[in-house]
Structure 1
Amino acid sequence: MTRDTIALIGPPAAGKSRVGKRVAKLLDLPYVDTDAVVVAGHGPIAQIFAEHGEPHFRALEREAVAEALRRPGVVSLGGGAVLDRDTQADLGAARVVLLTVRPEAIAKRIAGGKRPLITDLESWKRLVASRSELYASLADYTADTSSRPIETIADEIAQWVLASEAQNPDPQNPDPQTEGPA
């Protein structure tokens, strides 16, 4: 793992995949969506949950996350990937961006039922409340995706990465936590 790895974390439907793709393009880095890696290798996440349970999915997710964080690039993690202690430790070697989103902006994003731990807005709120402190503790930079254009958010993240690399190119001495515009 290197500080050339930018990891996007946050609650389900915060926009990690959409933002991550744009940040990778702006920085000319490879992009990996760990949920997509799991789906490509094992089928739909909801099906994995239904047939094998959450612990099995988390093991597959951990494997995908560990592999993705070993290389330079932009990595979008599934919302619950940060629950794993090994993943938390691995994130210490990456630049971690937390994407947040307000509940009033989330309703359309969670429609369609493809997220097994979220059945409605109230279940999303409970899930986010249970993880928000952990998300914040892992983040080097935070951006809210509730209402601003994804392109603007991605550009701000890319600028932060470039500025933090210029200020502190030493991967053994990570930069201090920064709050981005929300």
Structure 2
Amino acid sequence: MKYGLLGKSLKHSYSKEIHELLGYYKYEYFEEDDLDKFFKRKDINGINVTIPYKEDVIKYLDEMSEDAKKIGCVNTIKFSDTIKGYNTDIDGMEYMISRIVDLKGKEVVILGDGATSKTAVECAKRLQARTIKVISRKGEHKFEDVDYYKNCDVLINATPVGMYPNNLKSVIKLGKIRPEAVFDVIYNPNKTSLLMDCDRLKIPNDNGLRMLVYQAVKACEIFTSKKIDDDVVENIVQKIRTKNMNIALVGMPGSGKSTVAKIIAKNTDKKLVDIDKIITQRYGNINDIFAVQGEKYFRKIESEVLEEFSKEKNLVIATGGGTVTVKKNFYYLHQNSVVYWIDRPNSKLSRKNRPIYKTNTMREIRQNRNYLYRRFSDKYFNNYNAKTTAKLIVEDFNETIYY
């Protein structure tokens, strides 16, 4: 008998990985166009359901759980003598939220009016929110009507805006609104633009990965009739983050970023991406680019390459020394990476093939950039020895990735 996920465009889903980490069955993806034909199959034991079928599948069910009836959509179906639909998304959302904030008596604002929004509304009711406001692009209250929801206590993004591959888009900006907690159901990228704003403003937040894992655990319990401990949830969250998040290195030109990144990639399962090498392969010698087209042009193509790769997963990214001089590169890096500033004394910095050192002294560059390296980075390491630095970064990454 088969288990899997029914939906569309499932290439970037984590569901197969999660269910197979649970270890009870093999899991596959069903990208079906003909639901009539699919529901006549006799070899299916249980499925999860995602966009665009969470409401479409209801007509094929013999019965629904109470939560599924209230919400009006289904994300889990068990096939036995009857076909029964469940909604475990609400359990996952409750788990995600309750780790950070108690909704009781709070004003909750939900962005979006689709199936996930309906789940968020019922979850807020279950958790005894005082007021629930739904904001959407075309509804009665729109995203731009900030005065209507500026005093919200908790914000939940239930839209797909900002989800891979359309990273760094957002339906709102934090400013007038300063909630005490923010949740984004998106889990790819790890940090949406909204959640990076939260980090900047020191607002507690979480993405949708815990919700995804917890709802999968609840679905597995339905499929197998086995009880699974919450520790399993956190263990899977950590494994997925460790595997999929990137390690990115910033620092002065000649500080050893490429060397350290190469060692990290060799000692982990992560793929090496050296931004300067990719630029050289695509556009030619970097010294020539600086000499002929200038630094401004170079920074433009550097940002384009960084944007391309930083939205991907499971990489070690060695950036150029001047990457930090372009503000948007901060967001490119932080969406999926833990960022490390590696440094060494000026006397140890390599000058070879560093065009910036032809027009500026090391002291000038350090004075102009150190505060940027500090702002861009999550952690600092002095690179006295490349192998030792690489080892320390990997150890720190494995500890930092769990939050």
Q: Which has the higher helix share?
A: 1
1:118 and 2:376 are equivalent in the alignment: no
Match of 1:9 among 239, 250, 267: 250
Aligned to 1:173: none
Aligned to 2:343: 100
Aligned to 1:157: 393
Aligned to 1:172: none
What TM-score, normalized by structure 2, do the two folds share? 0.38
Percentage of identical aligned residues: 28
Match of 2:277 among 36, 55, 63: 36
Match of 1:91 among 333, 336, 339: 333
Q: Encode CA deviations 1:35-76: one digit per residue, 9 max, x unaligned.
A: 001000011101011111111111111111111211121101
Q: Which has the higher strand share?
A: 2
Aligned partner letter, 1:125 = R
Distance in 2 between residues matched to 1:69 and 1:58, nearest whole Å: 16
Distance in 2 between residues matched to 1:90 and 1:52, nearest whole Å: 24
Aligned partner letter, 1:152 = T
Q: Secondary structure at the match of 1:117?
A: helix
Q: Encode CA deviations 1:114-142: one digit per residue, 9 max, x unaligned.
A: 2111038x711211110000101121111
Distance in 1 between residues matched to 2:369 and 2:298, nearest whole Å: 18
- Specify every segment of 5 or more residues in structure 2 that has no aligned partner in the other structure, as ranges: 1-188, 191-240
Size of the aligned set, in residue pairs, is 160
1:49 and 2:290 are equivalent in the alignment: yes
1:25 and 2:302 are equivalent in the alignment: no
Q: CA deviation at 1:89?
A: 1.7
Bigger CA radius of gyration:
2
Q: Secondary structure at the match of 2:253?
A: coil
Aligned partner letter, 1:163 = E
For the aligned residue pairs, the C-alpha RMSD in angstroms reads 1.6
Distance in 2 between residues matched to 1:154 and 1:15, nearest whole Å: 10
Match of 2:366 among 115, 119, 128: 128
